[in-house]
Amino acid sequence: MEDDAPVIYGLEFQARALTAQTAETDAVRFLVGTQSLKFDNQIHIIDFDDENNIINKNVLLHQAGEIWHIGASPADKAVLTTCYNKTSDSRVVSCAAVWRMPSDWETGNHESPDESAHNPQTLELLCHLDDSTHGNAACVLWEPMGDGKRMISLADNHALLWDLQESSTQATVSSTATLEGKGQLKFTSGKWSPHHNCSQLATANDTAIRGWDLRTMRVWSVRYNHSHDQLVLTASRDSRLILSNMVSISSEPFGHLVDDEELSEGEELHQEDKGKEPLKDSVVSTYEEHEDSVYAAEWSSADPWLFASLSYDGRLVINRVPRALKYRILL
């Protein structure tokens, strides 16, 4: 029962933004945002054909700037958010915006994929997530189970809850929360909790993780309960991707999940089915296909045993959970 070899896909530019297309539950599809200062940045839509181990790609232009974070709407396949850097007048500004993919990208590109790479279509801007007081958006998180109306953006040391209105063309801040503490604290990453009716989220800054309750927007705990997580992916700067099988990490400080040398940065956690039999906490496998720091890893929304990882040098690798482990968890 050999595991399939990982599939590797290369991008022309450096990249650190990766997401699964959350609303898509049939096809294994990931979105990658590139980072380039000199050229127009792109969003690559990667389709993975599980049966044939083949990758199909589509490229959309993202002219606003280099993409630091990307998020896909859970309700509408075509809607996504990016956090990007804009350079103007030798100043670097971080912004966030909601975009819609052109409606015909799918049909049009299937016929001539090569051509589409050369003449990529452009994203349609729906709205900016602008708030004059809170700049430098680090990431935008969609409410995972909702109807695509709510999202959180993390900017510096603020967390903002946005409501999208009028088919996502208008966004208003409905509430904010601020992390206060010594020094300049910055949110670097976050994730919604899938439990508790989607009213809580966890954010990470440096080596600490914080839990938030959206109903009150107050810190309710400094720990995030991962008790229902089992398979955890950690991406790290030493160009390795580690799949750990953490059966019981409830109430474990976040720092323990982070690779030794890391300040928490570029980690993605994803939850998987709850284990039925007690398996030991262990590293399941380490993937070493990358040659540079891995900044993003993401589980597929369609196939829970599939995940993609993206390294800085623009290499996207799609891997599967080893079959032996998969069957052990399932059976």
Kindly list the residues in this chain that would bind another protein in the complex (CB under 8 A).
14, 37, 85, 87, 90-92, 184, 206-208, 237-240, 253, 255, 260-261, 263, 265, 288, 293, 312
241, two tokens: 């991707």
In this structure, which amino acid lies at residue 101?
M
Q: Which is nearer to another protein, 156 or 298 (CB)?
A: 156
User: Which residue in 19, 39, 38 sits closest to 29, CA to CA?
Assistant: 19
Beta 137-142 vs 150-155: how paired, if at all? antiparallel
Question: What CA–CA distance (Å, rounded) separates 269 from 290?
Answer: 19
CB of 147 to another protein, least distance (A): 34
CB of 182 to another protein, least distance (A): 11
Helix or strand run (H / E) with residue 2: none
CB of 95 to another protein, least distance (A): 14
User: Which residue in 317, 316, 321 sits closest to 305, CA to CA?
Assistant: 321
**Sign, CA torsion 233/236/242/245:** negative
Q: In what order do the strands lie in the sheet with 208-213?
A: 189-192, 200-205, 208-213, 218-221
* 58 bridge partner residues: 45
CB of 10 to another protein, least distance (A): 17
328, two tokens: 């052990």
Q: Which is nearer to another protein, 132 or 184 (CB)?
A: 184
Question: What CA–CA distance (Å, rounded) separates 6 from 17?
Answer: 20
Burial 69-105 (b: 16+ CB within 10 A, else e): bbbbbbbbbbbbbbbbbeeeeeeeebbbbbbbbbeeb
Q: Which is nearer to another protein, 108 or 255 (CB)?
A: 255
CB of 265 to another protein, least distance (A): 7
Q: What is the DSSP string of 247-288?
A: S--TT--GGGGS-TTPPS-S------PPPSS-PPPEEEEEE-
CB of 244 to another protein, least distance (A): 16
Q: Which is nearer to another protein, 50 or 292 (CB)?
A: 292
CB of 17 to another protein, least distance (A): 13
Q: Which is nearer to another protein, 150 or 237 (CB)?
A: 237
Q: Which is nearer to another protein, 79 or 202 (CB)?
A: 202
CB of 85 to another protein, least distance (A): 7
Helix or strand run (H / E) with residue 67: strand 66-72
Q: Which is nearer to another protein, 85 or 199 (CB)?
A: 85
Q: Quick one: DSSP state of residue 146?
A: S
CB of 255 to another protein, least distance (A): 6
Q: Which is nearer to another protein, 208 or 219 (CB)?
A: 208
Q: Which is nearer to another protein, 236 or 301 (CB)?
A: 236
* 154 bridge partner residues: 139, 159
